[in-house]
Amino acid sequence: MGPIADSWAQQKADPHSCNEFWRWRRSRPLQYFVPLVPTVRRAMVRGWWTALVLNMIESSGLGPISVYVLAQRRHMPFPYPLLGPEVYDSWERLPALLESLPLAWVEFNRGNSSAIEPYVQLRILGQTRRGADDPYDRPNAVLLDWIAQGVVPSGVPLPVPTRAGDISSTARERQPAAATRRDRMARAPRAGGRVDPRSSTQQRNRR
C-alpha cells in the first residue's frame, strides 16, 4: 500500500493528476469494488440518507464533504479530493464517497486513525437501535429519538424543519416529513433536472 499512498500524496494537489491517477484502475461495478461486505455497505447507504434527513452532512460546492461524528462531537471530512471525476450533482456524492473509501484506508494505514471515522459514523447511523447492520427491522436510535421525541444528541445541528419536521411538531408530523424528504432524495436522479455534461454518475457505476 505504501507505493500507492506515496503516488496519491504527490498527485492529489492537482485535479488533472487526480483524474489521471484513477483512470482505468477500476474495472468492476461500484457495488463489487467497494471493500465492504454487503450488509455493511447497505448500512452505510442507510446512514447517508439518515444523516441527510437529520442535517448531519455538510457540503458546499465542489469542496470537501463532512458528516457530524457523534463520538467526536464535530464534523469530520471524508477524503478530498475524491477518486474519479469531480462531483457536480448531489446524488453523485454517496457513490463518490464509497468509491473513495480506499483513500481513507490508505490514510489510516499511514497513521491517521481519524480518516475512517466519517465512514464509521455512516455505518452507525445505518444500524438499528440495537446496533445491528442486518436485518434493519428497527429505526436507528438517533433517527427514532428525533421522530418520536424531537431531540438530537448534544452538539448535533437541528434538522431543517422542511426536511424532517420541527422540534415543536408532534411525532405524527415529523415522521411523514422525514419520509417525504427521503422519497424526494431517492427520486432526485430521475427527476429530469439538468445534469452537468461532466457528470460522473454513469462512469462510477459502469467502470
pLDDT one-digit tens code per residue, 164-198 = 999 998 999 999 988 888 788 777 654 433 333 33
Do 41 and 31 form a contact (C-beta atoms < 8 A)? yes
Give 184's contacts (C-beta < 8 A, 6+ positions apart).
Answer: none
Do 69 and 76 form a contact (C-beta atoms < 8 A)? yes
Q: Give the number of C-alpha atoms closer than 13 A to the C-alpha of residue 97, restricted to the C-beta side.
A: 26
Global pTM value: 0.77
pLDDT one-digit tens code per residue, 22-73 = 554 554 555 556 778 899 999 999 999 999 999 999 987 778 899 999 999 9
Helices 141-149 + 38-53 axis angle, to 10 = 30
**Which pairing describes strands 57-59 and 74-77: parallel, antiparallel, or unpaired?**
unpaired
